[in-house]
Structure formats: structure tokens, C-alpha cells
Amino acid sequence: MRAAVLRSGNLVVDDVEDPAPGFGQVLVRTLACGICGSDLHFMRHASRMVELSGQLAGPLAGPSLDLSRDVFMGHEFAAEVIEAGPDTVAPPAGTVVTSMPVLVTFDGIVPLAYNNDFPAGYAERMLLSAPMLLEVPNGLLPQHAALTEPMAVGIHAVARSGIRAGEAALVLGCGPVGLAVVAALRLRDVEPIVAADFSPARRELARTLGAHEAVDPREEPGVEAWRRVDGRRTLVVFEAVGVPGMIDSAFRDAPPGSRVVVVGVCMEEDVIQPFFAIAKELNVQFALAYDPTEFAGALRSIAEGEIDVTPLITGTVGIDGVPAAFEDLAHPDAHAKILVEPG
């Protein structure tokens, strides 16, 4: 079968071995897979990510990753069941499903996002764990179900923030993660929601998903926009850019007593001045990924129309178009989310 793999730092499309399901596993045909911003980060900082992951202790360290071998990627997907492994209870063939992107094997849990041994969402077929499958409700397009994963990231970040009625939100960065945060805030009826991004297209998407105000930070800093439209409610700041300097900037700009939630994943060394957070008594929370309940809730919110992911999908490609799609996503005015449809 065909798959896009990371090989020696470059994305290439090649034939790979067809996977065969074992006990507890299901072979599926990939219908749609979103290209995540974290995949772009991984291409640029793979060695650093592997190095830092190796320094984590306990289960967070995860399995080792060999960058001298092909690396499979693709973790925002919807797929169709082909067959189940031996003695495995699973939905019947033809059922459209999604799943948290991990595979349970006899050797442990494999993260499908980045691994050497199991094809993931940028392949025509892949293996999933039967107990983790969520059936996609009838009528929901696979392309929309594929965005369950990024929406779950936003739902988790908002849950970790502890934001309550009567508090305001500022979202710094309107890439897919920031937009998911905006959508999750709207689900909680937070008002006002202020978003800030350099890209006019992404600011418009933020408004579509529920932001009450979206500004260009070069013209009006996000905190100033909050002061203009509200300025009195307790502010919760979501940093969703993930580049050096953003956390420190949030500390400097946030009003006293604010909460700062870091959801952008910065893979480079950074410098902060703790004094600003100390002097203002800021509460700082880091957020990553989601739990199974939040993942299922994201699928339900999309299926019930509480979150409309349609505007996020700005392009589709086949397997052969994956390398070019990664290049296109470097231009934020052109795309928000490109889906891979292996066909």
C-alpha cells in the first residue's frame, strides 16, 4: 500500500508493507486525515523532540523513535473498518470510526502520531485498537469526523483553564489549536472571546467559530482589545502560538490576577522573566492533548452541530500530495486545515 513517511528529514511517498491486525486490533481504510501543526513542528525539530522525550521519566517517556528509519505520522483521522483481528469484537466491516491515536500491542502502547513500525493516518490503511473505536454517527462526513482530535485539544485546554461564567478569554494565535480553543470557549458561553492573529483569514475563521472580537496584534495588542470590549472581567489568556517569546509576552501583557494557559507547543529553548508572573500573581497552566471523555465529547459536539468544523477545511489532497501540502501550510493565509484523503 501507499503511505507518506518521514525519511531522513524529508516527506516521501512510497510503498510500505500492508498491516495485519492482531488480537484486539482492527484493520481500517483511512478516509480522511488532517495535517496537524505538530507534524510541521516535528519535521523541523524531530531530533530535539526525540532528545527531550528521552529525558522524560516514567510513562510519559514513551517508546523510542529511530529517526534513521522511516517515521509514520497522521493522528487526526476517520476510517472505515475492513476486518478485525482474531478473537476480536469490533464494529462490522464498512463502519466509519475514529479513535484516539494510540495502538495497544503486546509490546506496549504505540503513539500513532510518530512511530517507526505502524502506518498511521497518512497511509491507505492502518491498525486501530478495537476497544478505543468510536463509531461516527450516521450522516456525519468522515472529513468532519477527522477533526475530532484537534477539537478535543481545544476542549481539554478550556477545561484545564477552569474558566467560568463571568470571565473573559483572550486567545493568542488562531491556527488550528487556537481555533479549537475558540470553539470550545463558545461551547461554554464565555463572553467576550477575543482572538489575536496576524492572518486576516484566520481572524475571520476565529469570528466564524465564536470569537466576539479578532484583532491584528500589530495594530492592537490582544490585551488592549480586551480592555476596549470589556476590561473588567477576570481574563484567561490562552497562548496557542508555540514559538519562543510568546509565554513571556503573555506574562508581561496579562493584567494582574489573570490565568495564562499555555496550549501552544514550543519545541525550542525559551526565556521567561518570572518577575512579571510573580508581581501580578498570575496562575499559569500548561495543557496537552485530552482524555477519552473529552475526545468522545468532541465527536459528539461536531455530530450534533455544536461545533461547525466545515470552515476549517481549506484543502484536500491524496497521498501523493502530502509533501506539497506540508509546504502549503507554511503560509497561514492560504490554509487552516488540509485533509489527506488516501483514496
Same domain, residue pair 176 and 243? yes
Tell me, yes or no, whether 143 and 6 share the same domain. Answer: yes
**pLDDT cut 90: percent of the chain above it:** 85
Asked if residues 302 and 309 have their Cβ atoms less than 8 Å apart, the reply is: yes
For helices 176-187 and 148-161, the axis angle rounded to 10 degrees is 60
pTM listed for this prediction = 0.94
Q: What was the pLDDT predicted at 53?
A: 82
Instruction: Round to whole Å and give the CA distance between 125 and 111.
Output: 16
pLDDT tens per residue across span 173-221: 999 999 999 999 999 999 999 999 999 999 999 999 999 999 999 999 9
Check residue 239 and give its pLDDT. 98
- Same domain? For 139 and 221 the reply is no
- Determine the Cα–Cα distance for residues 156 and 295; give it in Å rounded to an integer: 9
Domain membership flag for residue 71? yes
Q: Is residue 292 part of a domain?
A: no
- Which pLDDT belongs to residue 325? 95
Is the pLDDT at 78 greater than 80? The verdict is: yes
Is residue 210 a part of any domain in this protein? Answer: yes
Give me the pLDDT at residue 243, please: 93
Assess whether pLDDT exceeds 90 at residue 108. Answer: no
State the Cα–Cα distance between residues 289 and 300, nearest whole angstrom.
17
- Could you tell me if residue 302 is inside a domain? no
Total residues found in the chain within this entry: 343
Q: Mean pLDDT across the chain, nearest whole number?
A: 94
63 has a pLDDT exceeding 70: no
My answer on whether 77 and 199 are in the same domain is no
On the question of pLDDT at 242 being above 90, the answer is yes
State the pLDDT confidence band at 60, using cuts at 50, 70 and 90: low
Residue 296 lies in a domain: no
**Does one domain contain both 54 and 15?**
yes
Is the domain of 202 the same as that of 125?
no
Q: Specify the pLDDT at position 181.
A: 98
Do the domain assignments include residue 291?
no
The yes-or-no verdict on residue 61 having pLDDT over 80 is: no
CATH number, residue 205: 3.40.50.720
Beta-sheet pairing, 193-196 with 213-215: parallel
Instruction: Give the per-residue SS3 of the chain.
Output: CEEEEEECCEEEEEECCCCCCCCCEEEEEEEEEECCHHHHHHHHHHHHHHHHHHHCCHHHHCCCCCCCCCEEECCEEEEEEEEECCCCCCCCCCCEEECCCEEEECCEEEECCEECCCCCCCECEEEEEHHHCEECCCCCCHHHHCCHHHHHHHHHHHHHHCCCCCCEEEEECCCHHHHHHHHHHHHCCCCCEEEECCCHHHHHHHHHHCCCEEECCCCCCHHHHHHHHCCCCCEEEEECCCCCCHHHHHHHHCCCCCEEEECCCCCCCCCCCHHHHHHCCCEEEECCCCCHHHHHHHHHHHHCCCCCCHHHEEEEECHHHHHHHHHHCCCCCCCCEEEECCC
Q: How confident is the model at residue 103 (pLDDT cuts 50, 70, 90)?
A: very high
Whether residue 10 is found in the same domain as residue 87: yes
Q: Which of 286, 301, 330 is the last residue of a domain?
A: 286
Q: Do 201 and 121 lie in a common domain?
A: no
- Please state, for a pLDDT cut of 70, what percent of the chain lies above it: 98
Residues 326-334: what's their mean pLDDT? 84
Is 298 part of any domain?
no
Range of the domain at 48: 2-147+309-340
Q: Return the bridge partners of 26, or none.
A: 84, 128
- Residue 255 and residue 158 in one domain: yes
215 and 282 both lie in a single domain: yes
Structural domain total, the chain: 2
CATH number at residue 326: 3.90.180.10
Question: Can you tell me the mean pLDDT for 150-167?
Answer: 97
**188 shares its domain with 321:** no
Q: Is residue 21 part of a domain?
A: yes
Give residue 62's pLDDT.
Answer: 61
How high is the pLDDT of residue 136? Answer: 98
- Could you tell me if 132 and 162 lie in one domain? no
